[in-house]
Structure 1
Amino acid sequence: MPESLASATHHVRPARATDDDALAALDGDTWSPLHAVTPRKAPPYGPFFHERNAPEDVLVAQDGEPGGADGAVLGYVKLVSPTPLPCNQHVRQIQGLAVARAARGRGVGRALVRAACEEARRQGAVRITLRVLGHNAPARALYEAEGFVVEGVLPGEFLLEGAYVDDVCMGRPLD
């Protein structure tokens, strides 16, 4: 993974096993029916890392400058192969993105998406995909601004809080 991608106030780095508690708390604190299809968990949260969610699949946005003292974890993005099939290894998929409420509007989400694209290229991928709930307008706007386009819609795929919600498949080339 890239050593670090930085802005004036935060940087993106590979996750470490020691991020487990901070990422579990972030995941719990940012839960919302706007993006989650799983039920809300009660504290204490965790663990974040397990057999389907390894540190090497996650990039972390952290407060502060790269190489400086560890600042607060501001967000994360999970990047994986969409399937274990050899014929699909040219694609990477974003399977989770979260930004702390206090860090929203600071470019953290955009930095994480860009870092995921860079990491996917480094891994040899030529495409990147994701799925987003149809009613999640802020996330869809971010992805569209970063070059993702809607490639398919599964209408009414989820029943969330009494309403049917579309599952929107988005993707983009990495060239």
Structure 2
Amino acid sequence: MPETYIRTARPEDEEALGLLDRVTWSTLHSVQPSPQPPYDPFFSGRFGPRDHLVAEADGRVVGYIRLGFPTPLAVNAHVRQILGFVVAEEARGTGVGRALVRAAVQEARRQGARRITLRVLGHNTPARKLYEAEGFVIEGVLPGEFLLDGAYVDDVIMGQAL
């Protein structure tokens, strides 16, 4: 895998990010239905390019992480949450995911956040191991929160102080 560069997303990344989202979709990490045409735009009024860090290798987008607020409440504005995280199949196991998580933590700190949190499906062992290796701890579990592929799956809440 060529050297990976992490940067803030740009409007012209929209098509590549949307495609990456669609080709990597899986119930391992998504509770949303499988994307079907016509596809919604990747960027929205809620999440624009400024809310995404992109991993680029050889001029290609190979991953992204979305960082936002967990709620619109002012009393919760000191917290950032990872609200989306995808790595292209061919880039998995190469450090791209780790670089994106580290960049998200750094960006949350830069924004003045005091905490960063995320939610991960209980059966997504690779993601959970990565988060734990990067200092996230389990702060709560919602047992059997989702029914995916006929099985009940936990929703695991993880976080860390910044």
- Which category describes the TM-score, using the shorter chain as reference length? over 0.9
The secondary structure found in structure 1 opposite 2:15 is helix
Are residues 1:132 and 2:135 paired? no
Aligned to 2:100: 112
Aligned to 1:77: 65
- Write the deviation string for residues 45-102 of structure 1: whole angstroms up to 9, x where unpaired: 44101122211111000014xxxxxx10010000001111111111100000000001
Query: How far apart, CA to CA, are the structure 2 residues paired with 1:9 and 1:169?
Result: 32
Cα displacement (A) at 1:44: 6.0
Which of 22, 25, 34 is the aligned partner of 1:31? 25
Verify the 8 A CA contact 1:94 1:129 in the aligned structure 2.
yes
- Write the deviation string for residues 25-56 of structure 1: whole angstroms up to 9, x where unpaired: 00001001101101111356441011222111
Cα displacement (A) at 1:112: 0.3
Aligned to 1:4: none
Structure 1: state its 5+ residue gaps: 1-7, 65-70
Amino acid at match of 2:32: T
Structure 2: state its 5+ residue gaps: none
Query: How far apart, CA to CA, are the structure 1 residues paired with 2:65 and 2:82?
Result: 7
CA RMSD of aligned residues (A): 1.4
The secondary structure found in structure 2 opposite 1:128 is strand
Are residues 1:154 and 2:150 paired? no
Query: How far apart, CA to CA, are the structure 2 residues paired with 1:142 and 1:44?
Result: 33
Aligned to 1:19: 13
Which of 33, 37, 45 is the aligned partner of 1:51? 45
Are residues 1:9 and 2:7 paired? no
